[in-house]
Amino acid sequence: MASMSLLLSCQFLQKSFGMRTLFKDFSLSVFAKDRIGLIGPNGSGKSTLLKILAGIEKPDQGLLSPRKGLVVGFVPQECEFAHLSPQQVLINAAPKDLPVYEKERLAEMWLSKLGFKGDEPAADLLSGGWKKRLGIASVLILSPDVLLLDEPTNHLDLEGILWLEKFLAREAPTYLLVSHDRYFLQNATNRIIEISPAYPKGMFAIDGSYAKFLLQKEIFLEGQIQQEKSLATKARRETEWLRAGVKARTTKSQSRIDEAHQILKEHKELGRRNKEVRAKLEFTSSERETRKLLVAKNLSMTVGDKTLFSHLDFTLSPGVRLGLMGPNGSGKTTLLRLLNGEIEQTQGTLKRADDLKVVYFDQHRMKLPLETTLRDALSPKGDYVSFRGQEVHVNGWCKRFLFSPDLLDLPIKKLSGGERARIAIAHLMLMPADVLLLDEPTNDLDIPTLEILEDSLLDFPGAIALITHDRCMLDRVCNSILALGNPNETPLFSDFSQWQAAQKAPPKPKEEKKAEASPRPKGKLSYLEKKEYEEIEGKILKHEGEVQAFNLLLLDPKVAEDPARLSELCASIALTETQIERLYIRWEILEKKLNDLS
């Protein structure tokens, strides 16, 4: 680190809203080529910290020290624009001192880099994912030294997230981002910082991958628990000594009293930090034993002149957890609404079990007035909610979702997006269900809550149909994947890994097209080239299998503890991925030569 250039630092930052302290004594240094992932529970102040670093908000206390002339770019969670073309948005965002032709050139360049084709609607009419891309472009056009990104994967489909990982690696050498997407953190960062009251000074930081961070965090917290246990004996002894009284009020005994109080204070502080509080999420099942809850046969859906999907066949039975995948606009939400009975299919049948109880989680969630208090949002019918046949007081119910009873009269407009998401899940849990239909339930949830949500879904005995771009949740929860996006082909996969392998498989040579080609003479491959061409697909698949195996090894705690082995593995992955890239390039050259005129 010492040899790297220091771009930005802050010391002893503190920020509060009313009686609520987000963080205090927070210090951070950002060096050139840092790719920092900032994580932490909802409401811990991550977004506020980014705004302070960007100069948008002021800290209550502390010092911010940017390098002289430093340009900081900030991309917020929600990117909103006026009714202008994407090109005009970028021209307006470009440095003011540039001539018009240079602004236009830069705008065209960044639009191209971010995948815009020039036929998009006005910026305010773009989808959330394309607004996010335009927001990133409007910051990068200023050539920032440090890029700050708040939840950059929000509104992006899986294709967009994978694109963003590669784009940041190529175009943004130094950035600090807030994200709850665990696979994205693993692939896009080289340093992790967690803000949490579980740590001394409220933060824990390591250099390295997210997988390495998880290992180091576990070791640290286990050590902290052992420290508390060790101090417990001392604290008990000091308490007994203090109760017995001090016979002589000498300077020595006063010093002994101060020491005893210090030990008790440290023990209490360790106990507070080690008290892990996690949201308790449990869905209420109707416990129906019917094997076939929802059966889809030859299901097709056309909207206007666009066919979203056709000839779908699947059955939702107890224990089936179906993940719906595909790019934005491929019909995922439409399919959920169809399963919910809100709309009718164009073709096919959808048979529901008698008296089927379906609970639907809308990605846009409840539209509660922002002035609604937390109390009314969690318990709209009085001081009690009925959960699994039992009456639960609102004080206990709010604690279940990590809210202090002291906050019950707070309007929900003062809560973070993740805290509002927990309110929506609280409503969902009160409804008995045979089938859960979940449309993007992970948006805004922090990582501990995501893990609890995954555990709850795994424990739910009914059927689940789930839309999420969180690859970790898809991988962990779903035992069936339905891939939308091609109306003529909607394959089912047994799990996320099988779907992922199918995406990486190289395209098969199009024999039919070759048979239909014109009788003009083709270019010929030499004997060795033909042999190379025939073997190349197998080599690519072999190397991709090796990369997958290497990535699995990275998650092994023993490997993470061994820096030499870790470095060796990372080097092997980089080398193998380079070989794969070369094979693809060579394959294209040989295929072109095969099809060119002689």
CA triplet 116, 117, 119: central angle to 5 degrees?
110
CA triplet 47, 420, 341: central angle to 5 degrees?
130
d(CA 144, CA 136): 11
The 3-class SS string of 292-304 reads CCEEEEEEEEEEC
pLDDT band at 366 (very low <50, low <70, confident <90, very high): low
Residue 279: what pLDDT?
67
Residue 198: what pLDDT?
82
User: DSSP characters for 83-107?
Assistant: SS-HHHHHHHHS-TTS-HHHHHHHH
Is the distance from CB of 47 to CB of 148 less than 8 angstroms? no
Residue 567 has pLDDT above 70, yes or no: no
pLDDT band at 29 (very low <50, low <70, confident <90, very high): very high
Residue 187 has pLDDT above 80, yes or no: yes
pLDDT band at 478 (very low <50, low <70, confident <90, very high): very high
Q: How much is the pTM?
A: 0.70
4: Cβ–Cβ under 8 A, 6 or more apart, which residues? 31, 32, 33, 34
pLDDT band at 496 (very low <50, low <70, confident <90, very high): confident
If you average pLDDT over residues 247-266, what whole number do you get?
A: 66
pLDDT band at 520 (very low <50, low <70, confident <90, very high): very low
525: Cβ–Cβ under 8 A, 6 or more apart, which residues? 533, 590, 593, 594
Residue 100 has pLDDT above 70, yes or no: yes
Average per-residue pLDDT for the chain: 83
Residue 289 has pLDDT above 70, yes or no: no
Helix (H, G, I), strand (E, B) or coil at 178: strand
Locus of tokens 């980014």: 50
If you average pLDDT over residues 178-192, what whole number do you get?
A: 93
Residue 63: what pLDDT?
93
Locus of tokens 């989680």: 361
Residue 278: what pLDDT?
67
200: Cβ–Cβ under 8 A, 6 or more apart, which residues? 273
User: What phi and psi values does residue 202 have, to the nearest 5 degrees?
Assistant: 75, 15
Between the CA of residue 248 and those of 118, 194, 257, 264, what are the distances in Å?
Answer: 86, 48, 12, 22
If you average pLDDT over residues 125-149, what whole number do you get?
A: 91
Higher per-residue pLDDT: 520 or 149: 149
Residue 324: what pLDDT?
93
Helix (H, G, I), strand (E, B) or coil at 260: helix
If you average pLDDT over residues 258-276, what whole number do you get?
A: 73
Residue 572: what pLDDT?
77
- Cα torsion at 472, 478, 479, 484 (round to 10°)? -100
Range of lowest pLDDT (344-353, 503-512, 530-539): 503-512
Residue 511: what pLDDT?
45
Is the distance from CB of 418 to CB of 49 less than 8 angstroms? no
Q: What is the pLDDT of residues 524-557, one digit of tens each?
A: 667 677 777 888 888 888 888 887 777 777 767 7
Higher per-residue pLDDT: 138 or 381: 138
Residue 194 has pLDDT above 80, yes or no: yes
Residue 517 has pLDDT above 60, yes or no: no
Q: What is the pLDDT of residues 200-250, one digit of tens each?
A: 878 899 999 999 999 898 888 888 888 777 777 777 777 777 777 655 455
Beta strands in 94-247 (DSSP E): 146-150, 175-178, 191-195, 203-207
196: Cβ–Cβ under 8 A, 6 or more apart, which residues? 40, 41, 44, 202, 203, 204
Q: What is the pLDDT of residues 384-395, one digit of tens each?
A: 888 877 888 988
Residue 174: what pLDDT?
93
Residue 1 has pLDDT above 50, yes or no: no
pLDDT band at 509 (very low <50, low <70, confident <90, very high): low
Q: Is 411 exposed, middle or buried (0-12, 13-18, 19+ CB in 10 A)?
A: middle
